[in-house]
Structure 1
């Protein structure tokens, strides 16, 4: 079994130190093998040697680009993103993950690591330098030189079996280093978006390269959001909106940031803990306005049942038709008021014409005093218990 296969076996068995040694031996023979660097980067990361993991991952990215192998480029960039994450370079890790997404948007590990990076960025102060993207799509590292092909040199190399560390390889000079290309803005018809959520927020990524920071406009509303920015080098403009959102958000706590590869929106959930099943919903969010209030019957708004007007019967009176139902009610009210003696009638009339506070005062004073006191002053009656005041020569008794 050659060193590369031994390295793969050791890595699968979680024997990371052995894996590192086997991959190093394999790279001594073939220093341009992308998979060896990816394997050793993985082993370095799992032994917490994150700087070495990053060095190997970046070499793998450069070599994969030279070979133009999409799958190798994706794997190398993914290892690079993880190394950057563990080194605390969260904005750079986020940037590299967007590159991975462009290469394979269905990568199963991508949502998990994107969420982890977003959580770290969320906790950073706005002025923290770790929010700044310093990484390039293809890193500025120099690839290792190929081993000599002569018989004597090969024999010497085989006999000595020199080991090559990631730091040594990174310093080897070559004229074949891939030069990063300037960012080309994504055309409007190729801009995509994705989203994911935590318990208290929803993150939306507009995957657009070259979105201008100064002219990108984002509007957060309680039930909607919109994004727009011009496409550099063209007369077109990109527009995105979600209206209505699946659930309400808190606009004052929502924010966005523009990176070289995307526009990231963080929506603060108005109701934390509610799981969104989609970014947009089909709920009705129309507010009740003065215009549509007028079309709603008054008894619906007030809670009172609308009453039909009483019928007006034919009459020969010069004053017009009479409402006999109303007259009958008034007559009955008068009869009720006159029932009993004159004192009772007086008190009924007094109570009927009193204000609500006066009525409360009359009821409280009359009941608590056993019918011996009747007051209309609610201000004084409301704060005390009314003591019975029987007429002179009589005594109040409790029953």
Structure 2
């Protein structure tokens, strides 16, 4: 397989949020070429896997490689590299550094010189704390590309400066929205918190490329090469046991009803006739499983077996499974009907004895671990006890691709790629505005029929804000 194919597959895996599978594919691709696009894809995957040092290494190297190449896509890749630095520093709790990188991403999107001395990182006081505040960042729109007056609908804030389009308007908006998160976090930090310190530079030090073995180019992927021991090994296979368990684990999705939990296990090239699925009261064991991330795995190897420790007790005889070439689906009958599982469970690589494990539910969910026999009322019992609702469990069945959501406790700030919709941004903007700015936002938005949004009360308080629709759209009065 060529490096280009590895790179394309790696980027595709990142797009599908299969981060553990993406890293080894991009490792292979980057052995022969320092493609900034591949480096940025691997940086995103490493960030989602919480390998922040590796992610930062790739983002900074991508910036330098893109700048060196000077091709037509270089500026876009440099913008993306600065944005990736911003998201990584945010995850590390370095919020001042995160805001600086987001601002540099905006500057590049505006078409400003990459080596311009803009002094962003010098906004610090005598104690070294970042002095830029949330309100300053919200008002920092004078150079927003592609804006003219109040045009652009609800997605554009009112501005009095007309600027030319650069082709990077979406990238600018993305970095601008990210700044609201970084500076929002800074608002609540104590004065001596390290997250207030600025330690980044606009152009990062060039990282040293990690030393890797060259790719063995073979015209036939199935052609074995001889090793000193005389054992045939595929040229693109890592050594057995060299892939960590976390990267071997498969992508799993699930939904549940009062009676069953349906678990979907995504794995390619499943051979249904060879598959062995064993149900127990607290786990399901499956073998042999092909591992795309470690293609050396053979039937009988430890890596070819997975034990799925379940999030609650099941009735093995009432459970079933089906398989297609790309997915294994388990339909598990709950031992206690009506009890919601907080999660489906967890995957363990290799065989695990049933008696050596407990269900993967938390201690706050004892009802999910009750056996089917315990749930049945005895003849002397007038009424069976009602199982308590597990703490933190979802209120209703769900088929969401991201799994069940606990609406009583929504975690803030996770997944930088998913927190970018316009409504969420405006909620954050409104919440952080002063009462006067909120009045201006409400008045301008309502009077303009949603086509303008201003935070300047002195500008809008004495006039009716005109409806100015986007180009190509005609405003009509309701009759």
Common fold by TM > 0.5: no
| Structure with greater Cα Rg | 1
Query: Higher helix share goes to which structure?
Result: 1
What TM-score comes out, normalization by structure 1 length? 0.40
**Greater RCO, 1 or 2 (C-alpha within 8 Å, sep 6+):** 2
